[in-house]
């Protein structure tokens, strides 16, 4: 899905931002053990994959600033037939040239021997300071190696710079290939959510709903989830990151499922809330339609040039007005928003960036100002209302209702494309789908 030219272009774009006489180092994260001699499935570090396309552990990328020749050095494992018999194909140095577009490749064992000499040429080193175990281990080794040579005139770079912000900003705007990967993950998740709605009924357990979603994701070539699915029946939906997924589905309850498949390491993130028995109660319907009204208005607010927080403000106003009309809040809407009284029922933001990470890289403010939407941004819009089962300040009919509706959006020249638009979300459509 991704061509090597895309990774080459990213490396050139990053090099152009490096200070003179500087070098950047990124390390592949280790392959963690699950237990004994069994590993977890390997998932590359998002930044490392973004800059290299490499999906293997034990690798390193070194980029030099333009004034130092603009070299891109790649260190990775050499091919080993005996290891390949157990673990499968390895890139090796020639594979890194052919498939990832590197001109200079070396065995990973040479990194420690080449690094001291390479460091003598630079005044600054960029790296993911404090954010990468592999990087921290490399720094320790560098320091140990250089301590031996300081007496012979080898100098340690004078400045250390965190590269995270530079890469984060690059990752905010998605390429066509990235959007295609997200779109595939979203379409797969839509199908899985549809199957979950058909499958759900009182007496099943939350973990069975999770299994249904994961099964249908895998059937459509998305083997991994972008995050642990949240399958929350009844009052469990008021726990924002509920992950126990162990309780039975009860007659008369709502079921909130927040789940998204991953494709080529790119995430989807969709939430739907629906009645376990296929029919909303009157109280559930009123809260649900309020959340849906807010979400639709929030999506409508998205277009290039609009500030990020505008979406939250649009949804906050609708939610607060609705809470007043339903008697859950009392007072003027403006004063309730100013005092943040809505936090009793709505305590998170409008959404987040989506990409290689489900909560993807990028800041929502620049120079203390909310950033504007730009073409190629991918994000979620996900208002919700959560009324605790033990909240004695509200009428009993509202207690234990937790509702969130979340869709995945790409910003276009004319507004917002809802990537997950094929997944139903009106009361009438949900009831009809489940009845059928």
**Token pair for 110:** 């040479």
Contact 8, 63 (CB under 8 A): no
Give the Cα separation of 218 and 224 in Å (integer): 7
Q: From 245, 270, 248, select the one nearest 201 (Cα to Cα).
A: 248
Contact 138, 129 (CB under 8 A): no
159 forms beta bridges with: 124
Distances (CA, A) of 283 to 48, 259, 279, 289, 402: 48, 25, 12, 10, 12
**Token pair for 420:** 């997950």
Can you point out the beta strands (E) in 244-306?
254-259, 261-263, 266-267, 270-275
Q: From 295, 418, 419, 421, select the one nearest 351 (Cα to Cα).
A: 295
Provide φ and ψ at 134, rounded to 5°. Answer: -65, -40
Count CA atoms within 13 Å of residue 114 on its CB side: 15
Contact 260, 269 (CB under 8 A): yes
Q: From 141, 122, 125, select the one nearest 133 (Cα to Cα).
A: 141
Task: Using the Cα atoms of residue 395, residue 397, residue 401 and residue 405 in order, give the sign of their dihedral.
Answer: negative
Contact 426, 190 (CB under 8 A): no
Place of tokens 């029922």: 345
Active site residues: 37, 241, 258, 269, 348, 352, 359, 382, 386, 404, 406
Enumerate residues 6+ apart whose C-beta is below 8 A from 143.
none
The two beta strands, 266-267 and 159-162, are unpaired
325-330: long-range contacts, CB 8 A cutoff, minimum separation 24: 326/286, 326/287, 326/290, 326/398, 327/395, 328/387, 328/394, 328/398
Provide φ and ψ at 4, rounded to 5°. Answer: -60, -30
**DSSP conformational letter for 127:** E
């Amino acid at each position: 899905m991704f061509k090597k030219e895309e990774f080459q272009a990213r490396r050139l774009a990053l090099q152009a931002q490096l200070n003179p006489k500087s070098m950047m180092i990124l390390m592949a994260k280790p392959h963690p053990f699950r237990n004994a001699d069994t590993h977890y499935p390997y998932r590359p570090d998002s930044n490392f994959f973004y800059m290299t396309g490499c999906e293997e552990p034990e690798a390193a990328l070194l980029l030099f600033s333009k004034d130092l020749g603009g070299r891109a050095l790649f260190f990775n494992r050499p091919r080993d037939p005996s290891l390949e018999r157990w673990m499968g194909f390895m890139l090796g140095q020639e594979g890194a040239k052919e498939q990832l577009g590197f001109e200079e490749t070396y065995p990973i064992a040479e990194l420690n021997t080449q690094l001291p000499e390479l460091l003598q040429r630079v005044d600054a080193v960029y790296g993911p300071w404090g954010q990468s175990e592999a990087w921290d281990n490399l720094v320790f080794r560098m320091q140990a190696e250089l301590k031996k040579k300081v007496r012979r005139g080898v100098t340690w770079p004078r400045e250390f710079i965190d590269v995270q912000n530079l890469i984060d900003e690059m990752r905010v705007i998605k390429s066509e290939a990235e959007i295609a990967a997200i779109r595939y993950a979203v379409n797969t998740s839509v199908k899985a959510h549809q199957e979950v709605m058909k499958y759900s009924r009182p007496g099943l357990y939350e973990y069975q709903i999770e299994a249904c979603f994961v099964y249908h994701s895998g059937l459509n070539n998305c083997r991994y989830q972008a995050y642990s699915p949240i399958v929350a029946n009844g009052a469990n939906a008021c726990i924002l990151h509920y992950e126990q997924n162990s309780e039975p589905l009860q007659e008369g309850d709502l079921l909130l499922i927040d789940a998204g498949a991953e494709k080529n390491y790119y995430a989807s993130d969709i939430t739907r809330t629906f009645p376990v028995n296929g029919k909303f109660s009157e109280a559930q319907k009123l809260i649900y339609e309020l959340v849906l009204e807010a979400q639709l208005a929030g999506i409508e607010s998205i277009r290039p040039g609009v500030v990020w927080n505008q979406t939250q403000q649009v949804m906050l106003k609708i939610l607060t007005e609705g809470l007043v009309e339903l008697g859950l809040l009392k007072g003027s809407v403006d004063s309730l928003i100013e005092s943040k009284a809505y936090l009793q029922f709505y305590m998170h933001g409008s959404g987040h960036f989506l990409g290689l990470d489900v909560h993807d890289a990028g800041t929502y403010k620049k120079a203390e100002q909310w950033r504007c939407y730009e073409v190629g941004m991918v994000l979620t819009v996900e208002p919700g209302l959560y009324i605790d089962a033990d909240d004695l300040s509200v009428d009993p009919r509202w207690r234990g209702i937790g509702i969130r509706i979340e869709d995945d959006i790409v910003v276009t020249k004319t507004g917002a494309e809802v990537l997950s638009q094929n997944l139903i979300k009106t009361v009438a459509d949900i009831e009809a789908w489940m009845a059928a």
